[in-house]
Amino acid sequence: MNGINKSVLLLILMLLPGLNLIAEGNTENPSSLMPQYGNWCGLNHPTNPKTAEPPIDILDAICRQHDICYLIRGHMDCECDSEFNRAVVANKERFSATERFVAGTFRIYFRGSPCYGDQREKVPATRVITGIVEKADTRTKQVIQRFKAVTE
């Protein structure tokens, strides 16, 4: 299996409903596509960063830094996602087994999710999907041109 197929498969597996139930502390939003973990990890978690509890561990602290980055640079900023992934890689030996699993899930998500800015660090799956859309658009235009040529 090549790197693109692995990336696509991992991204799909990460998005399966119910995966979030594996992560600790995910009781508030069981239908979320992204697990909630600790006090800072997960989509819209915490709901209010100003009143959130402190991080419970290293991964939660990395999530807090990512949330703060979004507050400063804007939601879905590519550099925030890249910084998150670099921090996960730098700390993976210090993670508990649960942190490693959840961090891997988030890392896959942030490497594959769309963002604003430089997408060079995104997995090929994101670029592949963009390429498919662009090719489909090109093919659609070609079909329309051929149809017009035949009908005119």
Structure tokens that stand for 131 in this block: 């390429």
Banded pLDDT at 131 (limits 50, 70, 90): low
Greater model confidence, 40 or 109: 40
For all residues of the chain together, what is the average pLDDT? 75
Contact 115, 93 (CB under 8 A): no
For residue 149, with 0-12 CB atoms within 10 Å meaning exposed, 13-18 middle and 19 or more buried, which class applies?
exposed
- Give me the pLDDT at residue 27, please: 40
Banded pLDDT at 18 (limits 50, 70, 90): very low
As a whole-number percent, the residues of the chain with pLDDT over 90 amount to: 33
Right CATH for 3-122 from 1.10.287, 1.25.40, 1.20.90, 2.40.160: 1.20.90
For residue 7, with 0-12 CB atoms within 10 Å meaning exposed, 13-18 middle and 19 or more buried, which class applies?
buried
Greater model confidence, 133 or 86: 86
The CB density around residue 77, as the number of other CB atoms within 10 Å, is 18
The tens digit of pLDDT for each residue in 54-109 reads 999 999 999 999 999 999 999 888 899 999 999 999 999 999 999 999 998 888 88
